[in-house]
Amino acid sequence: MVLRHMVAVLLLYLLVLPARAGELLAAEPLGDGVFALIGETGARSYENHGLNANFGVIDTPEGAILIDSGASLEGARLLADRAQALTGKPVKWVINTGSQDHRWLGNAWFRSRGVEVIALARTVATQRTHGLAQLDGLRGVLKERLSGTEPAYASRVIEADAAKLVLGGRAVEIRYFADAHFPGDAVVWLPGKRIAFAGDHVYVDRLLGVLPQSDATSWLAAFRELEALGPAAIVPGHGRVTDLAGARRDTGDYLAFLTEGVERFAEDMAGVEEAVAALGDAPRFARLANYAELHRGNVSRAYLRVEMGR
């Protein structure tokens, strides 16, 4: 009886034990101390700590650079542990590429440990607008794992739309092209390696989501600017590390399909129902995860955004 009780307690402990970062985030080496951390492509969940996205780690002689900080204090700790395991050094800098919850709500954990958090002013402005609502949305998912998490913003805010930084001897650029998944989304560019940490500009393997905050037309313009960099490797916001052809196939071509399609219907003032009826079946993109759940809503929101701008 006692043995059964001990086994039951052990099983319960294993069930609630926080997942280790290595189990959640597969590390893909990109050479010269640069790593992509690949999260799940499915939805946020208690089990994945809201880390259903990709992140990045860059080793430097002075410490690690982390691209994006996770959705909570607990998620931030997991990312810090992963960066330490990969580089043998603590995180010294965090760069936020965007304003969706898993891009930045872990900022407070890093700031409390003296880590410099860097973001463009445009990005911070959007975080300020959406932070409290994002926390409310995460409470039912992360439960006690969200405990203590509060919005915290960059300690180094860059007013320009582009910045060339040297962090620990590494040349790192932050670039804003146009509003994308969220207003103020940015790309981290490593010019020496021609690697782009594209954040939510690029989705691979799964369909991107056009949110009420998104602008598919300007998102496509931003994607074209990313293309112009000629990256050798792209770490997307979601999905496998890819090249330019893969990014075009899963993101650029889809954005072009959306924007060109809804523009035609908006010019004729056809209405959102007619646009969705005509564009709501896109077999070319049906292979992407979440297509059935997201595509028709993407058409609707893209159309309404274009109509609103006329």
pLDDT for the residue 8 = 42
**Does residue 149 fall inside a structural domain?**
yes
Judged on CB neighbours under 10 Å (0-12, 13-18, 19+), 283 is exposed
Task: Supply the angle between the helices 272-279 and 253-267 in degrees, to the nearest 10.
Answer: 140
Apex CA 66: angle with CA 77 and CA 223, to 5°? 125
Q: How much is the average pLDDT of 85-100? A: 98
| Helix or strand holding residue 54 (H, E) | strand 54-60
pLDDT for the residue 22 = 62
Tally of domains within the chain: 1
pLDDT for the residue 309 = 74
Tell me what the pLDDT averaged over the chain comes to.
93
**Does residue 31 fall inside a structural domain?**
yes
pLDDT for the residue 229 = 97
Tell me which residue has tokens 């690690």: 64
Question: Who contacts 239 (Cβ-Cβ below 8 Å, separation ≥6)?
Answer: 41, 54, 203, 204, 205, 206, 250
Measuring CA to CA, which residue among 123, 127, 131 is closest to residue 160?
A: 123
Q: How confident is the model over 233-263, as pLDDT tens digits? A: 999 999 999 999 999 999 999 999 999 999 9
Question: Who contacts 298 (Cβ-Cβ below 8 Å, separation ≥6)?
Answer: 207, 208, 209, 210, 216, 258
* Residue of higher predicted confidence among 252 and 6: 252
Residue 126 scores a pLDDT above 60: yes
Q: How much is the average pLDDT of 277-289? A: 97
DSSP 120-140: EHHHHHHHHHHHHHHHHHHHH
**Does residue 171 fall inside a structural domain?**
yes
Q: Which two tokens stand for residue 10?
A: 């052990």
Report residue 268's pLDDT band, with 50, 70 and 90 as the boundaries: confident
Residue 4 scores a pLDDT above 80: no
Residue 15 scores a pLDDT above 90: no
pLDDT for the residue 21 = 59
Q: Are 37 and 56 in contact (CB under 8 A)?
A: yes
Question: Who contacts 132 (Cβ-Cβ below 8 Å, separation ≥6)?
Answer: 151
| Helix ranges, the chain (H) | 2-16, 21-24, 73-87, 101-104, 107-111, 121-142, 216-229, 244-247, 253-267, 272-279, 291-308
Which CATH number covers residue 91?
3.60.15.10
Judged on CB neighbours under 10 Å (0-12, 13-18, 19+), 58 is buried
Distance in angstroms (rounded) separating the CA atoms of residues 48 and 52: 7
Output the pTM of the full model. 0.92
- In this structure, which amino acid lies at residue 63? G
**Does residue 284 fall inside a structural domain?**
no
Question: Who contacts 101 (Cβ-Cβ below 8 Å, separation ≥6)?
Answer: 44, 50, 71, 134, 135, 137, 138
**Does residue 174 fall inside a structural domain?**
yes
What is the dihedral sign for C-alpha 111, 115, 121, 124? negative
What residue numbers bound the domain in which 120 lies?
A: 13-244
Measuring CA to CA, which residue among 222, 164, 157 is closest to residue 191?
A: 164
**Does residue 181 fall inside a structural domain?**
yes
